[in-house]
Structure 1
Amino acid sequence: MSKSALILRHLAFEDLGSFAAVLSDEGYRLIHAEAGIDPLPDPLGPDLVVVLGGPIGVNDADTYPCMAAERAWLRPRLDARRPTLGICLGAQLMASALGARVAAMPHKEIGFAPLTLTRAGADGPLGQLRDAPVLHWHGEAFDIPAGAENLAATAACPTQAFAMGPAILGLQFHPEAAELPAFERWLIGHSVELAQAGVDPNSLRSQAATHGAPLKRAGQSMLRTWLRELPA
């Protein structure tokens, strides 16, 4: 019998990317939900929940009520330590649901850069990312929730990932979306943000050409390792 994985998406082109193939290979049946549109199931029901990124913020609930709804939906699942993976906004929602602060950074972090792994990070699934610059694309960051471990940092953001036991993993960065030509959707879709941040799309395109394929391999290895270490 296949396992179920609920994929909560906030923006069409910020999808599972290279992670989709791994989930399929590992026997997961994907159930897609669009944030703010589709009703969410029993939070304890899916075998796995993956909360993806997006351009809105955890603190924007007055403008985007789905932010408050998703936090409330995640809370019982996280309290029960049911397998949950968050990427960028998804990780920020998880951190907020666990009581941690999410706030704006002094400057946005956009581009490919390596992680500095903590000992806990290097010894776990994130060790697969040791030699692969990952994609960063965020202007807010989370504090590490109480009881969780900090797994990684960069110079711009000291809290790049957290884990709470083997089943709860939040990633501030994007290990799932890097390769060209699919990465072009990010450059086009976020054109206004890039212009406002003074980031040259040609530079990002060049970085993706260099780092996209290695990151795909490393990111898929990281996810596969994490999935296989989940409690039965």
Structure 2
Amino acid sequence: MPRSDAETFRDSRPILIVLHQERSTPGRVGQALRARGHRLDIRRPALGDLLPETMEEHRAAIVFGGPMSANDDLDYIRTEIDWIGVPLKEEAPFWGICLGGQLMAKQLGARVYGREDDKVEIGYYPIHPTDEGSDLFADPTYVYQWHREGFELPSGAVRLAESEAYPVQAMRYGTNAYGIQFHPELTALMMNIWLTRGRERLELPGAQPAPDHRRDRQQYDGELRAWLERFLDHWLGEVG
């Protein structure tokens, strides 16, 4: 059946990508989206890029991670927290990854926090699905993490996955807004850059040494890559 003009317009809209550093990329997430035929509209509010007042011209939005904190008193952090209310209010597909998930939690009134013992997750760590997340998070069993803060579950959100150190690893708000703590976008090149530029963080409590990152990638990355494809099918409704 031919598509209506409205359907064609919706399908052709780009996906908004929000990054936080000049050299940051959407990594494997961007590769997977482009392979599906999606255009990407990449913006960096930290460098002065504006965010749209409405999601009318974008099919979905993804806010990625970064070394800053959702609790930082920075203009662009406050702007992003406020802006996330736009896709949530309009019920447009939204996905927050690590910092992006924490910003989403803050927008919804939840606390973003560091542990009292300063324990971090930097490396590959196990996560476990909740009953509500059993379909979407039956695997991966180990995911790549790089964070020293977590977020509490906002009121009205559903916890989908958890871990021992940080109880909220994935959440859903409404029908199509998701926040996660881990990094499915990671490529081998990105791992090498993070381990080089962020090597001082490998000394933090709970962080894994660099050789473990590379060893565990060989074991767990295929499962995480397969999860990403299934998640995009679900999130963008592209099954079939």
**Same fold, judged at TM 0.5 (above):** yes
Given the alignment, which residue of 47, 54, 61 partners 1:49? 61
More strand by share: 1
Counterpart residue identity of residue 109, structure 1:
E
Counterpart residue identity of residue 225, structure 1:
H
Count of aligned positions: 224
Partner residue, 2:20: 10
Partner residue, 1:113: 125
Given the alignment, which residue of 225, 228, 231 partners 2:234? 225
Counterpart residue identity of residue 78, structure 1:
L
Q: What are the ranges of 5 or more consecutive residues in structure 2 without an aligned counterpart?
A: 1-7
Q: After the TM superposition, which residues 24-43 of structure 1 pair with which residues of structure 2 at under 5 Å, given as runs?
A: 24-37=34-47, 38-43=49-54
Q: Is the 8 A contact 1:104 1:139 kept in 2?
A: yes
Q: After the TM superposition, which residues 170-185 of structure 1 pair with which residues of structure 2 at under 5 Å, given as runs?
A: 170-177=179-186, 179-185=187-193
Partner residue, 1:101: 111
How far apart in 2 are the matches of 1:126 and 1:15? Answer: 25
Q: What TM-score does the superposition give when structure 2 sets the normalisation length?
A: 0.85
Q: 2:145 aligns to what SS in structure 1?
A: strand
Partner residue, 1:68: 78
How far apart in 1 are the matches of 2:189 and 2:109? Answer: 38
How far apart in 1 are the matches of 2:204 and 2:125? Answer: 21
Q: Is the 8 A contact 1:126 1:222 kept in 2?
A: no
Q: Is the 8 A contact 1:180 1:212 kept in 2?
A: no
Counterpart residue identity of residue 36, structure 1:
A
Partner residue, 2:198: 190
Given the alignment, which residue of 61, 86, 90 partners 1:80? 90
CA offset digits 1:163-190 (Å, max 9, x no partner): 012210001111221x424421121121
How far apart in 1 are the matches of 2:161 and 2:23? Answer: 26
Q: What are the ranges of 5 or more consecutive residues in structure 1 without an aligned counterpart?
A: none
Q: Is the 8 A contact 2:232 2:238 kept in 1?
A: no
Structure 1 window deviating more from structure 2 (184-193 vs 220-229): it is: 220-229
Q: 2:166 aligns to what SS in structure 1?
A: coil
Partner residue, 2:4: none
Q: CA deviation at 1:81?
A: 2.0
Q: What's the RMSD between the two structures over aligned residues?
A: 2.1
Q: 1:90 aligns to what SS in structure 2?
A: helix
How far apart in 2 are the matches of 1:12 and 1:188? Answer: 17
Cα gap change, 1:57 to 1:131, in 2 (>3 Å): closer
Given the alignment, which residue of 189, 198, 204 partners 2:213? 204
